[in-house]
Structure 1
Amino acid sequence: MANLECRMYEAKFPDVDMVVMVQVKSIGEMYAYVALLEYNDIEGMIQFSELSRLHIRSINSLIKVGRMEPMMVLQVDKQKGYVNLSKRRVSEEDIQICKDRYNNSKHVHSIMRNVAKTMELDLEDLYIHVGWPLYRKYGHAYEAFELIKDDPDPDSILNTLTREVKETGPDGVEVTKVVPALTEEPKDALVKNIKGMMMPRQPLKIRARIEMECIQFDGVLHIKDAMRKAEAAGNEVCPVKMKLIAAPSYVLTTLTFDKEQGISVLNKAITACTEEIEHHKGKLTVKEEPRVVSEPDDILLAKRMAKVNQANEEIEVDDDSEEEEEDRELI
């Protein structure tokens, strides 16, 4: 039977300050014990004081056996083989980044494991010669698999991978030869699994936040013109939308499959918006540079906008009440 157990990444242990996905295995008197899912389930520990910044009344409300969640690495003991972790130091942004990376890595791992199983290959050997070189070259093997999925000639990517083998020549001298990392049959199996198991890529949402003001008599019209200039900077691939949160705060967004292109388009939109509003003696300040945002970010923004709208409605009601009171006084 081929070995089908292996960590997802080349490093045997995560780096300090890295946020990793864990699963809670047991809860003791002072520590909870977890398995680091991306590192072949090596053991990690989290002290109860690292669960929350607030006073802990009930451990069970903060951590439960079987639950999967991101935690930050505080210390790594490579000799003893365990990792100290923290939950309270993980930010909302860290959580989403960790979840996205883990989901992609899990997808890659599933494909690699399936190929190793069906072709009776050693999973770690497959990672050494295929998976981890793709991680190094493309940032994440998932990105390489996406290219292979859509490429009519996937060999253009896989044929760049090689391995060294030692052979004994006719003279009895051992020589080292460089050969393809995969022979034709395993390579075909990998391509087939990638094309069959990779899900369609979802577009990324890129967002930036600005503040814009114009105190001229017709400042509102100039702001609207600046918004139109920003949206005109978009294109069919990366359309730009600009919305008011609450004056003077605005957000610019675009959907794209290319992160760098999306960020570039939003930067151009901000530049066009800035030039237009400054032409009319207005001012634009970038409060949040263009970045990829997640569903939780959208939820937070929606809650913020709803809160602003509710506050505006309350102000309008108060104004109406004051006008009615004035009318009664006049009568």
Structure 2
Amino acid sequence: MPPKRCRFYKNKFPELEDVVMVEVKSIAEMGAYVELLEYDGVEGMILLSELSRRRIRSINKLVRVGKTEAVVVLRVDEGRGYIDLSKRRVSPDEVAKCENRYSEAKIVNSILRTVADATGYDLEELYEKTAWKLEEGDKPGSSYQAFKKAIVETPELFDTFGLPENVKEKLVEKVKHRLMPNTVKIRAEVDAQCYAYEGIEAVKSALKAGLEESTDDFKIQINLIAPPTYKIETVALDRKLGIDALNTCIERIRSELEARDGELQVRSEPQAVSDEDEKKLKERMDEAGQEEEEEEEDDEE
């Protein structure tokens, strides 16, 4: 059976001045005994003098058993497995960065443990061939972003690990399940008009040209809200790239219209839309449709 636990990073111990995440296991007169969560439970100690910059009246008010803390490494004795740590020397910015790195590394650890358990593959060897390989020459924990990027941009990355096919397939499945980014809908609204002889045909031609800016990554849709207003939409994994795609589409439509003596005005710039935005747009389109029906009835009378 593969081991149930494994350190998150290739090095068995942290380096001096690394900021690491620990869990307090017990409290004594000298300080707090802790386990380094990213290093497979290696033990360390936060000395009493390193708990706070202020005078310590009660150690129990500063730390408690079971609490996780971001601390900095002061000394490492690998031979004795002895690590001195400090809480008081860690800045709020360092705490935030450590918590973010730990959160991401914990997700990678969960993915790899699940794959190892499901396939019977050795967990440490799986780390060696995947996460630790990705982190060579980079900072610990960077494999999270590499896995996330592989889902969308570089799926061939999984072929470089040299894993048995069943293990690779399970890894791809679990990475997609945990790290697949959420899609976001991007929308813009424009007024497209042409009072020249071509009129509506010029508008249709320009909108058709805008649709030609669709790609495999960004499928663009253009629909009428109420003359002369159109909505232009796409769904994207990356908000900024989605906005860029719609801006390119808008400029294409503008260019085509102006070449036919028409004009395009942007009513709302490309932006991510919420469920509430969708609801409001539907209400607008329903109202516009109702007004159109009433006008047709008046014409018939």
SS at the partner of 1:188?
Answer: helix
Distance 2:183 2:29 in 1: 43
Q: Deviations over 1:77-96 (max 9, x none)?
A: 10111210000000011101
- Within the candidate set 149, 169, 186, 1:188 is matched to 169
The answer to whether the Cα contact below 8 Å between 2:31 and 2:47 also exists between their aligned partners in 1 is yes
Instruction: Return 126-135 or 110-119, whichever deviates more.
Output: 126-135
Opposite residue 165 of structure 2, the aligned amino acid is: E
Distance 1:185 1:257 in 2: 34
Distance 2:43 2:73 in 1: 12
Measured after TM superposition, the shift of residue 133 of structure 1 is 0.3
CA 1:75–1:112: 2 relative to 1, 3 Å: same
| Corresponding position of 1:122 | 122
The answer to whether the Cα contact below 8 Å between 2:151 and 2:180 also exists between their aligned partners in 1 is no
Measured after TM superposition, the shift of residue 147 of structure 1 is 1.4
Where in structure 1 are there 5+ consecutive unaligned residues?
A: 162-180, 204-255, 259-331
| Corresponding position of 2:54 | 54
CA 1:107–1:189: 2 relative to 1, 3 Å: same
Distance 1:51 1:44 in 2: 13
Q: How many residues of Structure 1 are paired with residues of Structure 2 in the alignment?
A: 185
Q: Deviations over 1:48-107 (max 9, x none)?
A: 100011101111110000000100000001011121000000001110110010001001
Opposite residue 14 of structure 1, the aligned amino acid is: P
Distance 1:183 1:191 in 2: 12
| Corresponding position of 1:5 | 5
1:158 matches 2:158:
yes
Distance 2:59 2:157 in 1: 49
| Corresponding position of 1:28 | 28
Opposite residue 79 of structure 1, the aligned amino acid is: G
Opposite residue 170 of structure 2, the aligned amino acid is: A
| Corresponding position of 1:136 | 136
| Corresponding position of 2:95 | 95
Distance 2:239 2:35 in 1: 33
Measured after TM superposition, the shift of residue 199 of structure 1 is 5.6
Distance 2:91 2:182 in 1: 26
The answer to whether the Cα contact below 8 Å between 1:51 and 1:87 also exists between their aligned partners in 2 is yes
- Within the candidate set 189, 192, 198, 2:179 is matched to 198
CA 1:123–1:257: 2 relative to 1, 3 Å: farther
Opposite residue 192 of structure 1, the aligned amino acid is: E
Measured after TM superposition, the shift of residue 150 of structure 1 is 1.8
Larger radius of gyration: 2
Measured after TM superposition, the shift of residue 159 of structure 1 is 2.0
Opposite residue 198 of structure 1, the aligned amino acid is: L
Distance 1:129 1:145 in 2: 13
| Corresponding position of 1:147 | 149
CA 1:159–1:183: 2 relative to 1, 3 Å: same
SS at the partner of 2:38?
Answer: helix
SS at the partner of 1:20?
Answer: strand
| Corresponding position of 1:76 | 76
TM-score by length of 2: 0.58
Q: Deviations over 1:279-329 (max 9, x none)?
A: xxxxxxxxxxxxxxxxxxxxxxxxxxxxxxxxxxxxxxxxxxxxxxxxxxx
Opposite residue 50 of structure 1, the aligned amino acid is: E
TM-score by length of 1: 0.53
CA 1:31–1:138: 2 relative to 1, 3 Å: closer
| Corresponding position of 1:18 | 18
Measured after TM superposition, the shift of residue 202 of structure 1 is 11
Distance 2:5 2:82 in 1: 18
Measured after TM superposition, the shift of residue 201 of structure 1 is 7.2
Distance 1:104 1:125 in 2: 20
Q: Deviations over 1:110-137 (max 9, x none)?
A: 0000000000111101111112001226
Measured after TM superposition, the shift of residue 257 of structure 1 is 7.8
The answer to whether the Cα contact below 8 Å between 1:148 and 1:191 also exists between their aligned partners in 2 is no
CA 1:84–1:159: 2 relative to 1, 3 Å: same
Opposite residue 194 of structure 1, the aligned amino acid is: V
| Residue identity (%) | 46
Distance 1:109 1:202 in 2: 25
Measured after TM superposition, the shift of residue 160 of structure 1 is 2.5
The answer to whether the Cα contact below 8 Å between 1:16 and 1:76 also exists between their aligned partners in 2 is yes
